[in-house]
Each structure stands twice: as C-alpha cells, then as structure tokens.
C-alpha cells in the first residue's frame, strides 16, 4: 500500500540559499508499507527524484530503536530531504518491527536483530520491485548489524551492489558475518567516527581486515551520532561518492529554487 507522504509548503527562493538541517528539497515522497514473511506490516517512506529515474536507491537501516533510533534519525532524514534533488538518489526509510515515528508504528516487537532479518528482506524486496538497479544498503549503528548479518546472503545479496556502514559497533555482527561479506565480494564503505562510543577507527580497521574489499574511513572529530551539519554533510558526501562512483565533488551546500522547511 502506498499513499502521499506528509506534504511540505514549498516556496521559491530569491536566489541561492544555504541548505540547513531542516531544509527540504523537492522530491516525490510516498508513504509505503512493507510486508514481512512472518506477517507484519512495517511503515516507511520512499523519496525519489521528480521526473527522472534514480541513479541509485538507498535502503536505510536506522539505529537501535530501544535507544531512540527510528526512520527519522537525523542523517537518514537529511538524506531523504536532499539526495533525490541533489544527486538523483532515492531513499527508502522505514521503521523496523516495534518501532514508532511520526510516520506511524511498525507492527511486532523489537527482537534484538534476529527476527529483523525479515524486515531488511522486505525492504530490499520492495526497493527491487520499484527500481532494481543500483540498490545499496545504508546502516547506522544497530542498522549496520542488520546489514552485516543479512546483506551478504540471499535473498538480499543478489539484489544489492554493496553497503555503507555508519558507526558500526560490531556487537551483534561477528567474524562469521564479516567472512560472509568477504566471500560475497560486495563492497563495504565503513565510516567510523574518531570519538565513537563503541568502535573507533584503529580498532575498526583491525576488525574489518577480514573483509579485503572493505574501505574503512576514520572521520576526525565525529562522534557516534554524527551530530552537526559538518558531519552529516560528510556522511552524505561519502554515501553519494560510494553509490555513484566518480562523484568525487562534495554535494552542493546551497540551493536555488523551491524549498521547504521541516518542523
């Protein structure tokens, strides 16, 4: 089931305007429902470019819901606000089982990452039906655990091009999951904050040596939650450059045209 997402009041700018944390750029935004193999309905949103096919689709996995993570966690919200217009990248956000946001509540209960396998499979299947070309997983904190545990195995592995991990704690995902990624050959971009609470760059580089194709990037000054426009912008630049190789220029920080402000 789909429906029109929350609408924003767009107005024309008089000239180039700074893109701020709450700036919403034009996109087609659709409320979606995902249906898992174990019978649950999950709520989400799909944002895609207006009038053209996306060059890539991100399937995002949010941080730990028992610690406040949900589909509106700020990096993913900013991705949906900006990337369809700035980079022709579509963004699928959703609440894993038992998670609530202003969009609504997904059915079921948090299961620590085990039953959530069905959630990530449902999200990738939905994206593959919509735009099967160039799908990437993007996980943040707990979401990286889902990417690592399930992304390199079927039915997901053959549907995606790789994954971007933000602040991976490597609590639930272990060496066997890293070995599965190594075997798959699928690319991994791993962004690790200098001051992460759980896994910092040097330790991350050691752990991810099991995955020869993993590109581990330490981000100076950043913390686990990527607070601050400087760090959120860096994440979006890195994601764009990874899913659209050769896009080495930073995303624009100004916009001329219609825009809205989110509450």
pLDDT tens digits, 185-219: 999 999 999 999 999 999 999 999 999 999 999 99
Residue with tokens 């630049």: 237
Indicate if the alpha-carbon torsion angle 171, 177, 178, 179 is positive or negative: positive
Going by pLDDT thresholds of 50, 70 and 90, the confidence category of residue 15 is confident
Residue 12: the pLDDT is 87
- The pLDDT of 2-31, averaged and rounded, is 85
pTM equals 0.95
Summarised one tens digit per residue, pLDDT across range 215-237 is: 999 999 999 999 999 999 999 99
Residue 259 CA to residue 81 CA, distance in Å, equals 10
């Amino acid at each position: 089931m789909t429906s029109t997402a929350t609408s924003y009041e767009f107005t024309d700018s008089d000239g180039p305007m700074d893109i701020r944390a709450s700036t919403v750029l034009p996109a087609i935004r659709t409320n979606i429902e995902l249906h898992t193999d174990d019978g649950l309905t999950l709520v989400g949103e799909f944002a895609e470019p207006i009038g053209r096919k996306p060059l890539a689709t991100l399937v995002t996995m949010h941080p730990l819901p028992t610690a406040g993570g949900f589909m509106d966690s700020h990096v993913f919200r900013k991705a949906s606000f900006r990337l369809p217009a700035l980079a022709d990248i579509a963004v699928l956000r959703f609440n894993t089982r038992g998670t609530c946001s202003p969009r609504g509540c997904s059915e079921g209960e948090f299961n620590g990452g085990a039953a959530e396998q069905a959630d990530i499979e449902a999200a990738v299947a939905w994206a593959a039906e919509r735009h099967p070309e160039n799908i990437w997983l993007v996980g943040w904190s707990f979401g990286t655990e889902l990417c690592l545990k399930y992304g390199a195995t079927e039915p997901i592995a053959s549907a995606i091009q790789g994954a971007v991990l933000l602040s991976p704690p490597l609590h639930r995902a272990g060496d066997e999951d890293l070995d599965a990624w190594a075997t798959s050959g699928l690319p991994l971009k791993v962004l690790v904050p200098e001051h992460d609470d759980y896994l910092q760059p040097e330790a991350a580089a050691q752990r991810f040596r099991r995955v020869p194709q993993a590109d581990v990037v330490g981000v100076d000054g950043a913390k686990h939650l990527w607070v601050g426009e400087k760090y959120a912008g860096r994440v979006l630049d890195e994601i764009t450059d990874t899913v659209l190789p050769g896009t080495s220029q930073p995303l624009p920080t100004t916009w001329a045209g219609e825009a809205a402000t989110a509450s």
